[in-house]
Structure 1
Amino acid sequence: TCLVLVTSWGGTEYAWGSRTILGLTAGAVVTTLLFVAVEHRAAEPIIPLRLFRDSIFNVTGLIGAVIGIALFGAASYLPTYLQMVDGASATESGLLMLPMMLGIVGGSIVSGQLITRTGRYRIYPIVGGAVSVVGMWLLSGLEAGTSRLEYSLWQAVLGTGIGLVMSVLVLAVQNSVRPADLGTATSANNYFRQIGGSVGAAVFGTLFAGRLSDSLGVRLPTGVELPPPESITPQLVHAMEPALRDAYIQAYVDAMPRIFLYLVPVLVLGLILAFFLKEKPLVSHSPEAATEPAPIPAARANPPRPSVGYLSGVPVQGTVRHPDGTPVEGAALTLIDVQGQQVGRGSGGGDGRYALSVPGAGNYVLIAAAGGHQPQAVSVTVGDRPVELDVVLGGAGRLAGSVLAADGEPVPDAAVTLTDVRGEVVASARTGREGGYVLTELVAGEYTLAAGAPAFRPAALPVSVQAARETRQDIELAGGAVLRGIVRAPDGRPVEDARVTLLDAAGNAVRTLTTGPDGAFRFVDLSSGEYTVIAAGYPPVATVLQVAGGGRTERDLQLGHED
């Protein structure tokens, strides 16, 4: 609120150096620092600060703010310009904004479809940023004689660029964060875009009001009192005398397009930021969405004519496909009989089609393999008619995620191990400085993921690896807390052989130890919570003895801890 008021009032209602503006600026800084401090200590923060360690989250937030500035700045004041200069009614000015909205929708749909097919998204914010710069630059050339067709096309260009960027930003954020943070990260990204839009509209209005006042002061006849810019409406202007009306219209032509030109460097900044956006492979955040095993295809009689030729004999033909139905290019196919002898061999074409021939009727096994995919063997029964048989190849899966402590902090150099249903180790890795790990070339199926690190309790959980895509699974390690100290006497010297007992919140003894010559004690691998530390010396020792009169009696006393 303070930031929006500064950009709205600065230079118009109050001078930039006034106490009000300076106070609002200080308020914006102080409240931001207080928000960060509260979020750092809150058990359930609104925006977890760990999100800001993700460069993709930061870059998309900045790009979203830039897009918000451009979109809200243009959409807020362009209808007023159309009413004032072009003579459009309020309804017509809204309809004349449809090209921009259609461009946004069209750009979002096109980018979404292309991302679905290719799995790549980084290029679209770059292309969209460049298109947005061109569209805003074209709008800065608006004049009184510009036709509706021209500025409608310019709006469509700007809208297409914004549409190519906006939907991709949300996708990039959701693809980067862990599943528990999906809602928070998405809302935060939208919030940054709205903040940018609010600030952009406020700054746009301030600059426009200043330029309009200057232009009116030059174009209006001498002695005409200037009304406040915010009180000028299209209806009021068009009801004026022709000389005054033309002066107001020309003042709008002088002021508004120049403000669009000011937004061009802002969009250039967004384009530069888009180059810093990292691209991660698209992942699935649904642990339940395990890939089902590929069904064994069924043979069909009377198939259509194959697209590739085959030798004499009974033909076996079909298509090698991915699980999503797309063809696998260049797959190697081998046909063997029940004795294991090879009876046919070939490869698939660019469309995934293949054609083999068998010497006669009988039972055979078709083996299909391709680079980066898991091989597949399919039984096929051949009679006296051609057989159409499609084969589904699952690509090698990939498992990635982070090893985190209970407070969400990453655990570096943790050992991560993946075992199959038989308990055999399939893959292993160690986490990096940010706690991340990646396991590649995995066969789709059910596994057990285990992780361990010094001072942490090992943890394990089931995970389903999907074929031909990346599955993301974070794992949390408990424990890791260390409690240590020194038992000292009143004069500060360490106390040797002191008994130190650690009690939990319920009063149960967790551990007991005895200090050494340095008086130090240390408890490791503790869960977070409340504890009580008790330090004690030797318990008292009593003995009964008889002292004779005039004699000398000696008796040694032995102190020690009871085991």
Structure 2
Amino acid sequence: MYAPAGASTWQTALPSQNGFKAVPAIGAGAALLASIVASFIPRQRTAEAGVEEPAGVEEPGADGPGVAESVVVSAPVVAVEGGGAGVPVRGRGLGAERVPVGGAAVTLISLGGKQLGRSVSRADGAYGVAAPAAGSYVLIASSEGCRPQAATIVVAGEPVAYDVLLSGAGGLAGVVRSADGGTPVAEAVVIVTDVRGDVLATGRTDVLGEFTVTDLVPGPVTLAVSSPKHRPLAQVVEVGGAGTARVELELRPGAQVRGTVRGGGAPLGDARVTLVDAAGNVVATTLTGVDGAYAFSDLDTGAYTVTRPATRPRRRR
């Protein structure tokens, strides 16, 4: 286009989104120059929204501002909080009684162990990651005070909704004392088993008789404690969904049976002595020493029978 003689302004056609647009020119072609310059300015990406938009341009000079338009282009992907582009996997982290768990770390990994996305649940328990394509993945969730959880999820072409149940990790702590005087029992063996009898944890008491067992599944467990010179003790303890249950245990000192076996008025060594309880069960068996002495310890209180063979025992070699 050209300007007619005597004209102070002229017009040119500039491309726009929907065809051509007439832009009034001020200052002998300033708008055309601004449009050309704007086409070379790099675009800024808005990662949160998943779109691109050009930077705004102002026309310098006293003749007035130039004309610039913002073009919004929808990205052909799905952006998910905490993950990259792909198929959304969303859900909530839930604790006991389906209470939302905030601050839980949720990680999506491939079956080969590669991390693909990570998210932290909000106060309402909501999280979001993204699978890069259809397939099977492993979703891992962990939170302080809860047992970590892992699950295999199958992703197709549609968004996946999956709620993660986070159960609390309970524990046991307590002190073991002797029933005669209440003194702490050090180095007592502490064993925790589940309802099936499988051992979940073992430990020992310290010099103060205290012990701590962590990372236990909520529910009833059997706590067994044994110590030399004391009778073993076992009782059922309920482990809560969160926090540590505390117990106090008392071990009864074991009773002792001592004696001497004599034959013909002299101590009889190497004689086999058997201890039988009131129900007829053999509790223990031992051999006498050279002085004919024997001893049984760590016994429950009650009535016992001590027996020995009628024949003369063999001599030790």
Q: What is the TM-score with the length of structure 1 in the denominator? A: 0.31
Contact 1:411-1:431 within 8 A present in 2 as well: no
Equivalent residues in 2 for 1:286-435, closer than 5 Å:
312-337=85-110, 340-401=113-174, 403=176, 412-413=185-186, 414-418=188-192, 426-432=200-206, 435=209
Distance between the aligned counterparts of 2:279 and 2:218, measured in 1?
A: 48
Counterpart AA for 1:345: R
- 1:468 equivalent to 2:238? Answer no
Q: CA RMSD in A?
A: 4.9
Cα 1:312–1:475 shift into 2, 3 Å: same
Q: Deviations over 1:172-198 (max 9, x none)?
A: xxxxxxxxxxxxxxxxxxxxxxxxxxx
Which of the numbers 267, 287, 298 marks the counterpart of 1:497?
A: 267
Distance between the aligned counterparts of 2:241 and 2:268, measured in 1?
A: 59
- 1:562 equivalent to 2:312? Answer yes
Distance between the aligned counterparts of 1:507 and 1:368, measured in 2?
A: 54
Distance between the aligned counterparts of 1:333 and 1:482, measured in 2?
A: 58
Equivalent residues in 2 for 1:119-138, closer than 5 Å:
none
User: Which residues of structure 2 form unaligned runs of 5+?
Assistant: 1-79
Cα 1:433–1:486 shift into 2, 3 Å: farther
Contact 1:314-1:360 within 8 A present in 2 as well: yes
Q: Give the CA deviation at 1:355.
A: 1.8
Larger radius of gyration: 2
Q: Deviations over 1:396-453 (max 9, x none)?
A: 2202345577889677121113357998865332235675432123345776644321
Cα 1:344–1:404 shift into 2, 3 Å: same
Cα 1:421–1:455 shift into 2, 3 Å: same
Answer 1 or 2: which has greater strand percent.
Answer: 2
Distance between the aligned counterparts of 1:434 and 1:332, measured in 2?
A: 38
Q: Give the CA deviation at 1:327.
A: 3.5
Counterpart AA for 1:562: R
Which of the numbers 217, 220, 229 marks the counterpart of 1:455?
A: 229
Distance between the aligned counterparts of 2:208 and 2:107, measured in 1?
A: 45
Equivalent residues in 2 for 1:229-308, closer than 5 Å:
none
Distance between the aligned counterparts of 1:362 and 1:390, measured in 2?
A: 19
Q: Give the CA deviation at 1:378.
A: 2.8
Distance between the aligned counterparts of 1:443 and 1:502, measured in 2?
A: 43
SS of structure 2 residue aligned to 1:329: coil
Distance between the aligned counterparts of 1:476 and 1:498, measured in 2?
A: 39
Contact 1:397-1:467 within 8 A present in 2 as well: yes
Counterpart AA for 1:336: I
Q: Deviations over 1:74-127 (max 9, x none)?
A: xxxxxxxxxxxxxxxxxxxxxxxxxxxxxxxxxxxxxxxxxxxxxxxxxxxxxx
Question: How many matched pairs?
Answer: 226
Q: Deviations over 1:534-555 (max 9, x none)?
A: 9xxxx9xxxxxxxxxxxxxxxx
Q: Deviations over 1:202-234 (max 9, x none)?
A: xxxxxxxxxxxxxxxxxxxxxxxxxxxxxxxxx
Distance between the aligned counterparts of 2:148 and 2:279, measured in 1?
A: 59
SS of structure 2 residue aligned to 1:523: strand
Distance between the aligned counterparts of 1:514 and 1:355, measured in 2?
A: 74
Distance between the aligned counterparts of 2:261 and 2:199, measured in 1?
A: 46
Q: Identity over aligned residues, as a percent?
A: 44
SS of structure 2 residue aligned to 1:398: strand
Distance between the aligned counterparts of 2:254 and 2:312, measured in 1?
A: 30
- 1:522 equivalent to 2:292? Answer no
Answer 1 or 2: which has greater helix percent.
Answer: 1
Q: Give the CA deviation at 1:341.
A: 4.2
Q: Deviations over 1:47-80 (max 9, x none)?
A: xxxxxxxxxxxxxxxxxxxxxxxxxxxxxxxxxx
Contact 1:333-1:346 within 8 A present in 2 as well: yes
Q: Deviations over 1:351-408 (max 9, x none)?
A: 4332222334444332112344322123334455443332122232202345577889
Distance between the aligned counterparts of 2:301 and 2:88, measured in 1?
A: 68
Q: Deviations over 1:300-359 (max 9, x none)?
A: xxxxxxx96875543222222322444433322222345554432222234433222233
Distance between the aligned counterparts of 1:383 and 1:507, measured in 2?
A: 67
Cα 1:505–1:451 shift into 2, 3 Å: closer
Cα 1:532–1:308 shift into 2, 3 Å: closer
